[in-house]
């Protein structure tokens, strides 16, 4: 392989003859279940949706499961399920996908952001305690990038203060913490079935819990039961409006088929992840991807970060260097994207106006002195400034040829950062 970067006129590391195969792999089993869904007569919440619920609950170790139309919907159900309401505060990390915060707003509660830990890019347990106020009702943790959070430390704080713990496991199906599957550790949890997740139905989600009362409260916002008379037979009775969150039979059938080979899929993805990680060991300027024995990856995504000191040495700001690396990797034939999701920086939080009139922050039951000053989240900002992610290239059905090529391209770029055109 030439040492000259493709972006500087060299030959790309990834040959044109090598193709990265797209995720998910669609099999005859998938097609058979989807056709079975089409050929039966219950296309709303039909038999495949019900089967998906029961089989996932058994697979993950949950007593209760409700199949939703998105991971965001499942997260909102978690907030409602934990008895969190208007003006209540929920602590969540400043670094995540938007649903980790909007699900709190959906139930008129208030997100309180805390900084993350540099190594894991997940909620920093040492930052949680200082954010607790008399209005705090829960902690929403995010098992980011397919690796579990430090749950012992989080649960210890939650129990001391009587707080609910919600697990955003949308990226982490099959991930474990000290041998326990995520989604079985807190009070309620949400999974996503979006196409970019390692368990997919194209779109959809799953709300899970092990407590019957919690499950009943969560289900209450999933349908329009509040508009139905008692004699209609719906068991959902709640003051909150229903949001029609249930899934339909067709995506549930696709997800059900994917679930039945999920153990093999996750093993393949994690195997490729570790093969890539081994090949990248010792690569200059590269921050090692996070995983530990107690918190292993499920193979969801491989995350690249350049060491912050490298940008200083090159005389550019960190974000500019990261954009340059993404462009250089693209020129070599592999796509990595910026992971630019600092939640409190979003306009809804900076303006404190989600529904008009400043609501819910302007409500009388909301604490008046809430601040989203971005200076509170320096580690999250540094993670965002240096974070690149790739979801599909290491996923099955890709194998050793793709992993070898991917590793070669990454090593080439990170070894020759001085060749990247930078302002």
Active-site annotation, residues:
197
- Distance (Å, whole) CA 403 – CA 191: 27
Strand 337-338 and strand 286-287: the pairing is: unpaired
> Helix, strand or coil for residue 90?
strand
Question: Phi and psi of 381, rounded to 5°?
Answer: -65, -40
Q: Assign 3-class secondary structure to 305-328.
A: EECHHHHHHHCCCHHHHHHHHHHH
DSSP string for residues in 208-222 = EES-HHHHHHHHTTS
Query: Which 8-state DSSP code applies to residue 123?
Result: B
Query: Which 8-state DSSP code applies to residue 67?
Result: E
Maximum distance among all alpha carbons in the chain? Answer: 74
DSSP string for residues in 224-254 = SGGGS-GGG------SSPP---B--HHHHHH
Which class for 330: exposed (0-12), middle (13-18), buried (19 or more C-beta within 10 A)? middle
- Assess contact for 190 and 205: CB atoms under 8 A: yes
């Amino acid at each position: 392989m030439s040492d000259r970067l493709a972006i500087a006129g060299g030959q790309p590391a990834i040959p044109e003859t090598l193709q990265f195969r797209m995720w998910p792999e669609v099999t005859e089993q998938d097609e058979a279940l989807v056709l079975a869904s089409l050929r039966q007569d219950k296309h709303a919440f039909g038999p495949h949706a019900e089967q998906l619920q029961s089989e996932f609950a058994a697979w993950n170790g949950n007593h209760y499961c409700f199949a939703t139309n998105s991971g965001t919907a499942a997260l909102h159900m978690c907030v409602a399920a934990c008895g969190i309401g208007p003006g209540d505060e929920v602590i969540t990390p400043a670094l995540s996908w938007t649903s980790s915060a909007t699900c709190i707003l959906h139930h008129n509660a208030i997100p309180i952001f805390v900084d993350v830990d540099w190594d894991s890019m997940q909620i920093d347990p040492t930052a949680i305690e200082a954010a607790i106020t008399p209005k705090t009702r829960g902690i929403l943790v995010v098992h980011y990038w397919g690796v579990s959070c430090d749950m012992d430390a989080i649960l210890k704080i939650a129990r001391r203060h009587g707080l609910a713990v919600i697990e955003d496991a949308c990226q982490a199906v099959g991930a474990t913490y000290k041998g326990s599957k995520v989604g079985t550790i807190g009070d309620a949890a949400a999974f996503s079935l979006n196409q970019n997740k390692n368990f997919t139905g194209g779109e959809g989600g799953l709300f899970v819990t092990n407590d019957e009362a919690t499950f009943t409260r969560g289900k209450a916002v999933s349908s329009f039961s509040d508009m139905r008379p008692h004699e209609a037979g719906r068991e959902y009775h709640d003051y909150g409006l229903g949001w029609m969150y249930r899934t339909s039979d067709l995506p549930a059938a696709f997800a059900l088929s994917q679930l039945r080979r999920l153990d093999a899929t996750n093993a393949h993805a994690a195997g490729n992840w570790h093969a890539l990680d081994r090949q990248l060991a010792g690569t200059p300027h590269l921050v090692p991807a996070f995983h530990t024995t107690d918190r292993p990856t499920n193979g969801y995504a491989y995350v690249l970060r350049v060491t912050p000191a490298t940008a200083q040495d090159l005389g550019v700001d960190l974000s500019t260097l990261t954009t340059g690396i993404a462009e250089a990797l693209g020129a070599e034939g592999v796509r990595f994207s910026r992971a630019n999701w600092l939640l409190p920086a979003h306009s809804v939080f900076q303006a404190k106006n989600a529904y008009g009139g400043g609501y819910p922050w302007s409500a009388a039951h909301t604490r008046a002195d809430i601040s989203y000053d971005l200076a509170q989240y320096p580690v999250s900002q540094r993670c965002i400034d240096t974070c690149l992610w790739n979801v599909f290239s290491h996923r099955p059905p890709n194998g050793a040829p793709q992993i070898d090529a991917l590793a070669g391209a990454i090593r080439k770029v990170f070894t020759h950062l001085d060749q990247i055109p930078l302002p």
